[in-house]
Amino acid sequence: MPSDLRRSNSEGIQMKLDMGQAWNSATELLGKNKDVVLIVAGVFIFLPTLALNLLVPGLEQPPANPEDTDAIVSALVETYQNYWWAFLASALVQAVGTLALLTLLTDTSRPTVGEALKQGGHGILPYLGTQILLGLGAALMIGLPIGLAVASGSSALITILAFVAIPAAVYVLIKTVLITPVIAIDKIYNPVAIIKRSWSLTSGNSLRLLGFFALIIIAMGILFMVINGILSVVLAAIGGQIQLIGGSIVSGLLNTGFAVIMLAVLAGIHRQLSGAATEDVSDTFT
């Protein structure tokens, strides 16, 4: 890769996402770090997910009446009200694990698992601050107008704002998708600077990123649905507590697999859009 492109973002040159290169970087990073990835993902993503599934009643069970939307929403609200602390604890543990995994995947100094976890803990407050800032922004720019439209009782206005809000939310999500790599890899800890860095890296690539993530999510969604469907039939035939525990384990494993793949993809995208040389992917772990 030409040297001027390696310095792309620092000099204002926009990088164009190569989806094939990003995917190859992701698979290479996973392949060369599978042992530590399995350990950290198992402890900090799989176990919290499993504990949440087993702790919160009915979390993994389909609604009794899928057509009763009001009952489903009411049940979800009650669940979050009663178990908010469990969801919060699980989210914090998984956030630390996520930041640690990104460090292990990309740090050329080859940190130990303990050092990576320390880095993950160091980044948790900036991560939370960034999420809060994004949440407040979404509430002001999207939630407030829709809330006012609902209060007005105008169906037409609600529909118009919904059509505007959904694409806007997707756009912001794409533009801020690299906040975790920015924290873990670039080691930027100011929430405003984190958002600006992610926004800058994704500049000119929003549609490419949207298409790339859509392809990955659809492909993995189909694969996971097939796996989950087959195992669900087997577990249903057994029944009882084994079905409940087994279903929670399967769900936790699939969620962990999805999370790990997406983290590797984000690392590959960040490496490419930040202007890192392609050969650095190999040099990092040789």
Query: What are the pLDDT tens digits along the chain (286 aa)?
Result: 333 333 445 445 667 888 999 999 999 999 888 888 999 999 999 999 999 888 887 665 655 565 666 677 777 888 888 888 989 999 999 999 999 999 999 888 888 889 999 999 999 999 999 999 998 988 887 777 777 777 777 777 778 877 888 888 899 999 999 999 999 999 999 999 999 999 999 999 999 999 999 999 999 999 999 998 898 888 888 877 787 888 889 888 999 999 999 999 999 999 999 876 444 444 443 3
What's the confidence (pLDDT) of residue 66?
58
Contact criterion met (CB below 8 Å) for 26 and 264: yes
Per-residue tokens: 24: 């190859």
Q: How far is CA 271 from the centre of its chain?
A: 17
What's the confidence (pLDDT) of residue 78?
83
pTM of this prediction? 0.83
In angstroms, rounded to a whole number, what is the distance separating the alpha carbons of residues 265 and 19? 10
Extract long-range pairs of 173-179: CB within 8 Å, 24+ residues apart: 174/202, 174/206, 174/209, 174/210, 174/213, 175/199, 175/202, 175/206, 176/134, 177/202, 177/209, 177/213, 177/266, 178/202, 178/266, 178/269, 178/270, 178/273, 179/127, 179/130
What's the confidence (pLDDT) of residue 101?
94
